Each structure stands twice: as structure tokens, then as C-alpha cells.
Amino acid sequence: MPDTIGDVKYSILEPGSFIPLNPGWTLLTKQNLEPTSPLGSLGVTQLPDGRGVFIRSMNMDRPADEGDADGNRPRGSFQKDAFANHSHPIKRASPGDNGGLLGGNVAAMLAGTFSTESSPTGGNETRPKNIALYLYIKIN
């Protein structure tokens, strides 16, 4: 089946190899398109920027608690990273507990001056396991 204007492909090939082998394709990197181009005539005058982000399909009226929590967003719109609201209950130690939570700092625990954020763990982002590929779109 031939490729269609607006199709998106992932590839392991760098642009210098992919584009000569696939005329009419370009990287998905927020380029502006002429209104008279094939995609421009369909109302797409700027490509989204697909570099370093995960692709999410359109919500299309799916309930927010089952799909995109932001509901129906415009095509190509960017969504910043987020972390769902949650809490981590911590059991308070009794006054006689010298070896309790947080290294036995019972006074601080009873005073309520502790937090699960006192010893943060993790990196710069929350993400699933992934591989990096080039993202191309058919523009003509």
C-alpha cells in the first residue's frame, strides 16, 4: 500500500539515508509548511515537534478517566510531563520507639516535620523503558 500524505513512520535510518530513499518525507521537527503544500491545503501549516517525546493518540471523546486526562486536545499539541496526584502514608512511631522510621528521629516525626520528599530518589523524568528512533512524516 502506498504511503499517504500525513503518514508518520519511525525509522532507525538517519535523515541522510532515509530521505533520499523515501522522497516526500521529512523529520517531524516543527517545520512551517506553505498553505499551498499538500498538508497545508488540508489545514496543517506547522508540523508538531516529535523530537524526544512519546506519541499519544487523539482522545476523540474518550472519558478523561479512561484516556487523556486533558480530554480532546488539538492535533499536534504538546503536553508537558506530569505526575498523578498521590500520597504516601507514613506510620508515626510511638514515643518509646528509638529505632523507628527516619533513623529514629521520633521528635521530628511526632512534630509532623517530616516528608517523603526529604530523601528524593529518581532521575530527571518519569518514563517507561524505550528506544530512540527518528520520526518522519509524509509531506508530499
- Distance separating alpha carbons of residues 62 and 11, to the nearest angstrom: 30
- Distance separating alpha carbons of residues 71 and 89, to the nearest angstrom: 30
Q: Per-residue confidence at 118, pLDDT binned at 50, 70, 90? A: low
Q: pLDDT tens digit string along 58-112?
A: 999 999 889 998 999 998 999 988 888 877 776 665 555 555 555 555 555 555 5
> Kind of pairing, strands 8-11 and 25-27?
unpaired
Cut 0.75: pTM above it? no
Res 123: pLDDT:
82
Q: pLDDT tens digit string along 33-58?
A: 999 999 999 999 999 999 999 999 99
Is the pLDDT at 2 greater than 90? The verdict is no
Higher pLDDT, 87 or 5: 5
- Domain boundaries, given as residue ranges, for the chain: 1-52
Is the pLDDT at 16 greater than 70? The verdict is yes
Residue 18 near residue 139 (C-beta atoms within 8 A): no
Mean pLDDT in residue range 13-31: 97
Q: Tell me the CA distances in angstroms from 111 to 16, 33, 90, 104, 115, one per residue in order.
A: 62, 60, 13, 13, 12
Q: What residues contact residue 74 under an 8 Å CB cut-off, 6+ apart?
A: none
